[in-house]
Amino acid sequence: MDRPPDTASSPARRWVAERPLLAYFALAFAISWLLWLPVVATVQGWWDVEVARWWHYSGAAGPIVAAVAVSALTGGGRGVRALLAQYSPRRGSPRWLAFAVGMPVALFGVAAVVIRLVDGSWPTYDELASTDNLPFSGVPLVLLAHVATYGLGEETGWRGFALPRLQSDHGAMRATHLLTIPWALWHIPTFFENESMMEMSPFEIGGWLAGLWMGAIFMTWLYNSSGGSLLAVVASHGLYNLFSASNASSLLPMIETIGVIAVAIVAIRLAGTENLTGFTPHGRRQQVRDDRGKASRCRPGR
């Protein structure tokens, strides 16, 4: 039987065991920012080395590596298995996974109609299947890249590791607010290497922050409603990135973001702020446990 590591034998492990969230955030930032540094240096002209733009995606490793490392230090093999068990297909209801996939696809359908009315043409497959930061094209490959990096990489850390711990001590909405702050700060280097983010005005940055905050609320609601399914939040995040980062019309990311904000507002109204799950504030309680065995306050949607 696996047992948590003996934290008393190591000051570093004891420090991590006493401050797992702080350790997680520090490690996630350190890994991602170090990985982003070479491409930032290239774009900003700090050196003459030409780093490929696809290296931008390597920064997504920070949250997942930090989550696995801190889970191992605080809970041993059992802690890591508890973290990764959130990817089990048996976790949560299949309808929530279907919703996670269907919502961004439906928003793309709405966006396509708007683009046709405004620009006079439909988004093409070639536009949707390519992005400036990847050396290949094709919807399946680009989607796989988004899911495997900023879907899997981010969500294992932010929703899989940090959110359950924050919800164990706070209501769902407060936990989401607390998580949004480091999630936003984590993105800082991308404003120095990602072309679209570098071109943002202060007003647009404010809109980006508002979208990220409402996106965090939506992700908490989806995670809680699905019974703590990382498959659901990873799928939603990956599809959102597929559409918003594509070379299709600039209207596409705007409409996708507005749709997420609208759903988040409806979720708050229906589910309430304490548990932020399902379509009612009085749903049946289900405990989602982290690798300490401590339950967070979330309920599956009905």
Tens digits of residue pLDDT in 235-245: 999 999 999 98
* CB 264, CB 173: distance < 8 Å: no
Residue 170 in domain: yes
- Per-residue pLDDT, 301: 41
- Per-residue pLDDT, 294: 52
Residue 290 in domain: yes
In this predicted structure, which of 17-26, 129-138, 217-226 has the lowest mean pLDDT?
A: 129-138
- Quick check: helix, strand or coil at residue 1? coil
Residue 51 in domain: no
* CB 192, CB 60: distance < 8 Å: no
- The mean per-residue pLDDT over the stretch 188-208 comes to 93
Residue 69 in domain: no
* CB 123, CB 113: distance < 8 Å: no
Give the separation between CA 28 and CA 118, rounded to whole angstroms: 41
Q: Is residue 69 over pLDDT 70? A: yes
Angle, CA of 153, 156 and 157, to the nearest 5°: 90
Q: Is residue 234 over pLDDT 50? A: yes
Q: Is residue 150 over pLDDT 80? A: yes
Residue 230 in domain: yes
In the chain, count H helices and then E strands.
13, 2
- Per-residue pLDDT, 93: 85
Residue 11 in domain: no
Tens digits of residue pLDDT in 246-286: 888 889 999 999 999 999 999 999 999 999 999 887 554 34
Residue 161: domain span: 90-298
- The mean per-residue pLDDT over the stretch 213-242 comes to 96
Domain count along the chain: 1
Residue 54 in domain: no
* CB 223, CB 163: distance < 8 Å: yes
In this predicted structure, which of 25-34, 46-55, 178-187 has the lowest mean pLDDT?
A: 46-55
Residue 45 in domain: no
| pLDDT band of 101, cuts 50, 70, 90 | very high
Q: Is residue 291 over pLDDT 70? A: no
- Per-residue pLDDT, 249: 85
* CA-wise closest residue to 54 among 132, 116, 113: 132
- The mean per-residue pLDDT over the stretch 47-76 comes to 95
